[in-house]
Amino acid sequence: MKKTLLNSEDIARLAGVSRSTVSRVINNYANVPPETRARVEKVIKEYGYVPHASARSLAGKSNKVIGLFITNIGANPQTRVFENAYFSPFMAAATDYAAELGYNLLVLMVNRKSDFTRIHNLFYNRTLDGGIFIGVPNNSPDVFDVVNAGFKLAIIDQEECDGRLKECPIIVNSDSYAGAYLATRHLIELGHRRIAHIAGDLKKYSGIKRLEGFRQAMHDAGLPVDDSWVVQGDFTEESGLECVQQLFNRSGSPVTAIFASNDAMAIGAMKGLKSMGLNIPGDVSLVGYDDIHIASYISPSLTTVRSSILAMSSAAVNNLIQLIENGSSESHYITIPAELMVRESTAKAR
């Protein structure tokens, strides 16, 4: 056996093909002519060349690694994953669930569009067997490019596939529409009529569906939704604080209840209401969404919609690994049900 070469360019030169052809042979793509494949494989064997990230796949084995891609494009650059009450438990749970099935989790922050090139490269060199996207905008062209490259993926918070995708990834959603409807209906049943909504990022599927659920519950009760009662946040605590200040500064008729599209914004709104001298729930009732761990410990404890983050993580990891190992999963569309958790932050309207 001759001395091992250090890169695929040497293999390409010796085989008389392009570097991309070598990559396609290494990664076992079908669109390589048999004679070309045989020539490249002969050189690889002769020189004992095996790229370190592809060694297991050339031996017919999986690396047992899945990626978790936490998308933060356009968000506050100061935002940290470990401070995020949604991403952090999802990541911890995914690590545990993957380990139970013999897989490791590689976490990658996607802070800029160029990071998608890194994701492609991790798949092309067979570092990853599959991946999970969380935090991505709905119908993101960058995510569609990864899906259409044929990689095995699960996406959290995304609408169902359409004609732009060659193959549908696994999609895991909270039942955001139903959950928002439950939250708003709860406030209506308490006698509230002037109900505001702090919307989440409306580029995200959950933000869109929770706004729709809020509007539908108001419509079904025959209640108007004043334009000034809907303010848009971005799912962060800071935006919840800013939105509640904006809401009470511009609202011609003070609202008596607020449904915030997630718990982080609800907690920010709670801080804002207290700073204005308003009592919760005496002056304003407040409902959040997600039922993060702290929701039951703050004062007053937060009425919220539970749609288990752990269940979403488990569904994504388990179905993705089924797809990797069997070529199929139990379902490509998984919806985690919503449940109203009534606590101290809501009361009957005065």
- CATH number at 122 reads 3.40.50.2300
Contact present, 239 and 265 (Cβ < 8 Å): yes
Residues 149, 224: one domain? no
* 117 against 253, higher pLDDT: 117
pTM, two decimal places: 0.81
Residues 278, 325: one domain? no
Residue 56 inside a domain? The answer is no
Q: What is the pLDDT of residue 50?
A: 54
Residue 94 has pLDDT above 80, yes or no: yes
Residue 15 inside a domain? The answer is no
Binned at pLDDT 50, 70 and 90, residue 288 comes out as very high
Q: What is the pLDDT of residue 191?
A: 98
| Token pair recorded at residue 201 | 């990022």
Which amino acid type is present at position 231?
Answer: V
Binned at pLDDT 50, 70 and 90, residue 256 comes out as very high
Bridge partners of residue 132, in order along the sequence: 68, 154
Residues 204, 294: one domain? yes
Residues 79, 169: one domain? yes
Q: What is the pLDDT of residue 331?
A: 79
Residues 203, 284: one domain? yes
Binned at pLDDT 50, 70 and 90, residue 89 comes out as very high
Closest alpha carbon to 348 in 180, 181, 128, 186 = 186
* 115 against 199, higher pLDDT: 199
Residue 3 inside a domain? The answer is no
Residues 136, 206: one domain? no
Q: What is the pLDDT of residue 49?
A: 66
Task: Give the mean pLDDT of 205-230.
Answer: 96
Residues 89, 114: one domain? yes
Q: What is the pLDDT of residue 74?
A: 58
Residues 242, 331: one domain? no
Closest alpha carbon to 197 in 246, 238, 159 = 246
Residues 242, 330: one domain? no
Q: What is the mean pLDDT of the chain?
A: 88
Residue 26 inside a domain? The answer is no
The structural domain count of the chain equals 2
List phi, psi (to 5°) of 302: -90, 125
Binned at pLDDT 50, 70 and 90, residue 23 comes out as confident
pLDDT tens, residue by residue, 30-87: 678 988 988 988 887 777 665 554 445 544 557 899 999 998 765 555 555 556 788 9
Task: Give the mean pLDDT of 1-26.
Answer: 73
Residue numbers of the domain that contains 285: 176-307
Q: Is 70 helix (H, G, I), strand (E, B) or coil?
A: strand
Task: Give the mean pLDDT of 191-210.
Answer: 97
Residue 126 has pLDDT above 70, yes or no: yes
* Distance between CA atoms of residues 199 and 225, nearest Å: 13
Q: Which helix (H) or strand (E) holds 95?
A: helix 87-100
